């Protein structure tokens, strides 16, 4: 059996081209981070990522947050197969970042809204 590597790669890329959008709540962890201002315990905001399934969306967003020194608390309003035009209706900053996805990245951030609290959520 012969496998056409180029065709397989195109299939994978087409499958991975789906944008997923989610409302994400996160907070500080013990790691250093440069996202939240000093006064903020956490934040909520829209994030988008390219993924093949709902489960992989959750994993990718949690991984992205950990990479930034943050801890995922909740994912709500998860929507699949969203394009940049749909994202404009949700969050213009998110849509702009989706249009300018950096090479090697699978996720982008939209507008975040910080909150102040004592301790952990």
Q: Classify burial at 99, counting beta carbons within 10 Å of its beta carbon; exposed 0-12, middle 13-18, buried 19 or more.
A: exposed
Whose tokens are 């996160």? That residue is: 26
CA angle 5, 11, 16 (to 5 degrees): 125
Question: What's the CA gap between 6 and 22, in Å, rounded?
Answer: 32
pLDDT in tens, the chain (121 residues): 455 555 444 444 444 568 999 999 999 999 999 999 999 999 999 999 999 888 899 999 999 999 999 999 999 999 987 888 889 899 999 999 999 998 888 899 999 999 998 765 4
Whose tokens are 């905001």? That residue is: 45
Length of the chain: 121
Domain extent listing, the chain: 27-115
């Amino acid at each position: 059996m012969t496998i056409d590597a180029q065709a397989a790669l195109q299939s994978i890329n087409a499958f991975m081209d789906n944008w997923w959008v989610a409302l994400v709540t996160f907070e500080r962890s013990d790691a250093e981070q440069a996202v939240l201002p000093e006064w903020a315990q956490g934040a909520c905001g829209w994030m988008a990522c390219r993924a093949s399934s709902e489960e992989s969306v959750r994993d990718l967003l949690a991984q992205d947050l950990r990479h930034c020194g943050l801890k995922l608390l909740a994912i709500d309003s998860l929507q699949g197969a969203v394009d940049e035009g749909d994202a404009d209706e949700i969050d213009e900053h998110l849509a702009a970042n989706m249009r300018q996805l950096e090479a090697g990245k699978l996720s982008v951030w939209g507008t975040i809204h910080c909150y102040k609290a004592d301790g952990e959520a």
